[in-house]
Amino acid sequence: MDHFALKDGALHAEDVALSRIAEEVGTPVYVYSRATLERHARVFREGLADVPNKLIAFAVKSNPNLAVLKVLQSQGFGADVVSGGELNRALAAGMTPDMIVFSGVGKTRAELELGLGKGIGQFNIESREEGRELAELAAARGKQAQACLRINPDVDAKTHEKISTGKAENKFGIPLVHTREVFDELSQLDGLNLRGVAVHIGSQLLDLEPLETAFAKVGQLVADLRAAGHTITHVDLGGGLGVPYKDGEVPPSPAEYGAMVAHITKDWGVHLTFEPGRVIAGNAGILLTKVVRVKRGGNGPPFVIVDAAMNDLARPALYGAWHDFDAVQPTGERMTANIVGPICETGDTFARDRECDALAAGDLAVFRTAGAYGATMASSYNSRGFVAETLVDGNRYAVVADRIAAAAIMDAERVPDWL
């Protein structure tokens, strides 16, 4: 459930008319709803009520906006970060270091140093080599890094191949067959307190079964490691819970997910970390756009050309992803259209043969479920600027990320004097 709904015939974010934001901030623009973020945070937390000892660490990559992070920080969330940039954002949003988990397959030396320097709560180590490097850096500071070993359970998450992370051929984690040996080695190192394992098999999961299979493997591994004399106090179960992008898509609810987790982990006796991203932020944001013009198609439906493009919302072009597309002021009339952006490649297509509200030049429309992996994946392709972001709270809103004009990006470029 979200707070983007029609009021008196016009689409609002909470109590703010989207037409007002378009007028005052311009389009394209992302609009987030605080009430929706808070609701999702609460529902996720309540779903895990039967899991006693836990940290919910928001996957910052899904929406790193500082204001969004601040909302989640006040909901008691920590952060799952995958770069120095994300780590600094989480800290800037007021998340305390002990509530920050550092994931990622290619953390640089500088990033490991940063995490150590800030005293973050947990590193999820993705290779033997990373573990050795982290241990060495920590020991040189006279510290012990708190760490889990990320394993690769070789489970098919049954999601888009580009966002699947838990198959043996994926770059993430340590294959189960090597885990014992790597754990034995790394747990000996002075600079590490290797206290558990982590797993994350993919994103936009619409079925609990792959998660359950992966968690069962983790449970077995915890038992095996303990039997081998290791002390296991922490397990990180990652993120991945899907959201409904279109009618008829029914992902497991946080309550169902929580019940499965509570059941499968009940005898583990560990502290659990969760790293939800999309399920918290996805439906809490929309991308508001204006129709530039409508152009007759060659042998198909008309092209509705909007002022948002694949540089602002990359998911359709990258993954063939579906985002519902609705008019801000629907008339009740419908049309079938190809929804495209202005960028000079055919990939800049949001939807083909889509049945949608009838639209004409100048009309406003929204792409829904754009709060996760939306603005954060924007680029300046075609010398378009970076899209602005706003956050609505009841009947007020604020610009929470300025539009970065194409001119400002050009200002950062230099032509050497030998040209």
Q: Which stretch binds ligand LLP (CB under 6 A): 110-118, 131-139, 237-245, 284-292?
A: 237-245
Give the footprint of ligand LLP on residues 40-99 (CB under 6 A). Answer: 59, 62, 80
**Catalytic residue of the set 344, 412, 415, 419:** 344
- Residue 246 or 396 having the CB closest to ligand LLP: 246
- Residue 203 or 390 having the CB closest to ligand LLP: 203
Of 268, 373, 386, 397, the one binding ligand LLP (CB under 6 A) is 373
Using CB under 6 A as the binding rule, whether residue 127 contacts ligand LLP is answered as no
Tell me, what DSSP letter sits at residue 387? P
Q: Are 144 and 193 in contact (CB under 8 A)?
A: yes
Measured CA to CA, the distance from residue 29 to residue 385 in angstroms comes to 11
Using CB under 6 A as the binding rule, whether residue 163 contacts ligand LLP is answered as yes
- Residue 161 or 181 having the CB closest to ligand LLP: 161
* Per-residue binder mask for ligand LLP (CB under 6 A), 348-367, x = binder: --------------------
Cα torsion through 328, 334, 340, 342, rounded to 10? -60
Burial pattern 354-391, b for ≥16 Cβ within 10 A else e, equals bebbbbeeebbbbbbbbbbbbbbbbebeeebbbbbbbb
Using CB under 6 A as the binding rule, whether residue 200 contacts ligand LLP is answered as yes
Of 276, 285, 316, 385, the one binding ligand LLP (CB under 6 A) is 276
Of 34, 40, 217, 278, the one binding ligand LLP (CB under 6 A) is 278
Q: How far is the CB of 320 from ligand LLP (least distance, A)?
A: 11
SS3 285: strand
Cα torsion through 388, 404, 69, 135, rounded to 10? 150
Using CB under 6 A as the binding rule, whether residue 285 contacts ligand LLP is answered as no
Q: Which stretch binds ligand LLP (CB under 6 A): 211-219, 274-282, 288-296, 333-341?
A: 274-282
Measured CA to CA, the distance from residue 24 to residue 39 in angstroms comes to 27
Helices (H), 204-298: 209-227, 254-265, 278-281
Establish whether 344 is a catalytic residue. Answer: yes
Of 63, 122, 204, 273, the one binding ligand LLP (CB under 6 A) is 204
- Residue 27 or 203 having the CB closest to ligand LLP: 203
- Residue 221 or 241 having the CB closest to ligand LLP: 241
Using CB under 6 A as the binding rule, whether residue 232 contacts ligand LLP is answered as no
Of 115, 191, 240, 371, the one binding ligand LLP (CB under 6 A) is 240
Nearest CA to 366 out of 321, 311, 308, 314 is that of 308
- Residue 364 or 370 having the CB closest to ligand LLP: 370
Q: Which stretch binds ligand LLP (CB under 6 A): 126-134, 139-147, 196-204, 217-225?
A: 196-204
Tell me, what DSSP letter sits at residue 213? H
Write down the residue that tokens 């005052």 correspond to. Answer: 24
Give how far Cα 170 sits from Cα of 83, 165, 166, 379, Å.
19, 6, 6, 26
Q: Which stretch binds ligand LLP (CB under 6 A): 14-22, 224-232, 269-277, 361-369?
A: 269-277
Q: Helix 66-74 crosses helix 34-47 at what angle (to 10 degrees)?
A: 40
Q: Say how many residues make up the chain.
A: 419
Could you list the beta-strand ranges (E) of 34-84.
54-59, 78-81
Dihedral sign, CA of 130, 80, 153, 216? positive
Total residues binding ligand LLP (CB under 6 A): 22
Using CB under 6 A as the binding rule, whether residue 283 contacts ligand LLP is answered as no
Q: Are 55 and 274 in contact (CB under 8 A)?
A: yes
Q: How far is the CB of 72 from ligand LLP (least distance, A)?
A: 13
Per-residue tokens: 263: 């059941």
Which residues of this protein are in contact with ligand LLP, per CB under 6 A?
Answer: 59, 62, 80, 103, 163, 165, 200, 203-204, 238-241, 275-279, 315, 319, 372-373
Q: Please list the active-site residues.
A: 344
